[in-house]
Amino acid sequence: MNRAIVVAFSLSGILAFSSCTNGSMGGMTPQSAPMTAQNQALPPDVLVGPRSGDVPFQSASPVLRLCPAMAGQMACVALLRTDVQPQLDTTQVVGGDAETCPFSEGYCPIDLQDAYKLPSLTAGKDEVVAIVDAFGYKHVASDLDEYRSVMGLPPCKTADKCFRILNQAGKSSPLPPQGSGSNSGWLGEESVDVDMASAICPRCKIVLIQADNNYTNNLYAGVKTAEKLAKFVSNSWGGGPEGADDPVFHKPGVVITAAAGDCGGGYTASCGGGGPQQPCSYTYVVCVGGTHLMRASNARGWDETVWNDWTFDECGGPCGATGSGCSTKIAKPGWQTDKGCKMRSEADVSATAAVSAPVIVYNSELVGSTGACKPPQCFWLFGGTSVATPIIASTFALAGNPEAQNGAAGIWKHHDDLYNVTSGDNINAALGVKCASKVTYICHARVGFSGPVGWGTPHGVHAF
């Protein structure tokens, strides 16, 4: 794998569509004591420097939470780096070289495929992955074309129905308008979802379901439609308070994934409640947590810890950490074998999500303080469990065994085939973020199952 060395630039302000007003974009911030402690807690084999996978924060406010939580609504869980935007090296071969990443910062498809040892270039043909999101995104098809072309992935066009865009009723029109104000961030969420599905399963077909808005009833209607069109459904959003099980999320023969959230395992005033969130807490949903993925000097070439970026503040709140929880409403499924949490434990499985080691996404509609980007220089860096969720849904599609799945039962049965993530946590005592559960492993990784990362991350598709 070749990685070009390019220079990323700092944005001088937060994105124009953001409702945040207090995000300063100063120069390099000295490494804080929490960050130093966090780095010291990483596995000893991880690499450092520009090829490690980490993208150092360039300001005291480096992250934008695209979809702030509102009462009665679901929030997407995509986190955008506002301090650094990767620049495409146009001297690299564009369109056709899936084994080259033309960026020096952020993960390309080839990186993710290598980290999780996935048969992405040979498996998944004609499997359908459904993405459920809110609001419209008028350039989603052309932006996906650009992402796949630059990343050397085969085209997936609307003309040949490889990529379909439908409303929550399953119709091609009318599609909902793009969100405005605080809801504008959903277009970034949609980019993350379709790009990550493409990165993991480039031979899959994609159906994007655009719900009328982010109210629970409309998103759930979108899920019900998605279950009729695909065997693998990804939901990178969630909210609370936690409710009882919903039958919409139990469709035999359909794998439904949902994000564990980005607010850690405890409560923070600026981020909202940690702990269980729906639909991730539902019995038959595969609840997806997040890790901090970095290159390492070991046989795998990679190592992971729990994703925890409680280091800098953005818009008055921390940069996030993977969610986890011990449900207060949902009974423990028969396949869950952990003993401490007597109710449903979350998460089940995980994948990369750290904003300090972000993935590369293409979106021509995100606007920086200097104005709109100019294609093809419209790539951005993203983190959050919004990244991990479509990765896991698409890994299930690579395996191609939806009829054999029963929620996360297969993950729990075949967990020995995952990369077990054994270090890290998703709380921060200095910020007053304590675990919402009294069960220690709900917020702290260990050998075996733990709340923040479940049983671990993909190691091929054997566990799926």
Helix (H, G, I), strand (E, B) or coil at 58: coil
What is the Cα–Cα distance from 392 to 371, expressed in whole angstroms?
34
| pLDDT value at 101 more than 80 | yes
Reported as a single tens digit per residue, the pLDDT across 323-352 is 999 999 999 999 999 999 999 999 999 999
| pLDDT value at 189 more than 70 | yes
- Give 240's pLDDT tier (boundaries 50, 70, 90): confident
The predicted structure's pLDDT at residue 157: 96
What is the Cα–Cα distance from 189 to 292, expressed in whole angstroms?
20
What is the Cα–Cα distance from 69 to 347, expressed in whole angstroms?
21
More confident residue, 7 or 81: 81
The predicted structure's pLDDT at residue 39: 64
| pLDDT value at 43 more than 90 | no
More confident residue, 370 or 16: 370
Concatenated DSSP letters of 231-298:
SEEEE-EEBSS-----GGG--TT-EEEEE--SBTTB-BTTTB--S--BTTTSTTSEEEEEEEEEEBSS
Helices marked H in 64-174 — which ranges? 109-115, 140-150
Count of H-run helices and E-run strands, the chain? 7, 22
Handedness of CA 357, 290, 311, 196 (dihedral sign): positive
Judged by average pLDDT, the poorest of 238-247, 364-373, 447-456 is 364-373
Judged by average pLDDT, the poorest of 96-110, 137-151, 234-248, 263-277 is 263-277
Judged by average pLDDT, the poorest of 219-233, 254-268, 303-317, 434-448 is 303-317
Q: What is the mean pLDDT of residues 198-219?
A: 97
Question: Considering only CA atoms, which of 462, 414, 390, 386 is closest in space to residue 230?
Answer: 390
What is the Cα–Cα distance from 107 to 361, expressed in whole angstroms?
9
| pLDDT value at 268 more than 70 | no
The strand ranges marked E within 146-193 are 163-167
The predicted structure's pLDDT at residue 375: 82
- Give the list of residues 6+ apart from residue 318 with CB closer than 8 angstroms, or none: 268, 270, 271, 309, 310, 311, 312, 428, 431, 433
The strand ranges marked E within 116-197 are 128-134, 163-167
Q: Hey, what domains does the chain have and what are their CATH numbers?
A: 2-442 (3.40.50.200)
Helix (H, G, I), strand (E, B) or coil at 146: helix
More confident residue, 87 or 23: 87
Burial pattern 379-392, b for ≥16 Cβ within 10 A else e, equals bbbbbbbbbbbbbb
What is the bridge-based pairing of β-strands 63-65 and 79-81?
antiparallel
- Give 23's pLDDT tier (boundaries 50, 70, 90): very low
The predicted structure's pLDDT at residue 433: 81
- Give the list of residues 6+ apart from residue 20 with CB closer than 8 angstroms, or none: 14, 64, 314, 315
Reported as a single tens digit per residue, the pLDDT across 8-21 is 333 333 344 333 33
Question: Considering only CA atoms, which of 429, 105, 433, 106 is closest in space to residue 262?
Answer: 433
Q: What is the mean pLDDT of residues 20-48?
A: 56
Reported as a single tens digit per residue, the pLDDT across 47-99 is 987 778 999 888 878 888 898 767 779 999 999 998 888 988 777 645 556 77
Reported as a single tens digit per residue, the pLDDT across 381-436 is 999 999 999 999 999 999 999 999 999 999 999 999 999 999 999 998 777 788 99
Handedness of CA 456, 123, 249, 143 (dihedral sign): positive
The predicted structure's pLDDT at residue 256: 98
| pLDDT value at 274 more than 80 | no
The predicted structure's pLDDT at residue 142: 97
Share of the chain above pLDDT 90, in %: 68
The predicted structure's pLDDT at residue 361: 97
Most confident of 26-35, 84-93, 440-449: 440-449
pTM listed for this prediction: 0.92
What is the Cα–Cα distance from 108 to 169, expressed in whole angstroms?
33
Reported as a single tens digit per residue, the pLDDT across 282-329 is 999 999 999 999 999 999 999 999 999 987 655 455 688 999 999 999
What is the bridge-based pairing of β-strands 325-331 and 317-318?
unpaired
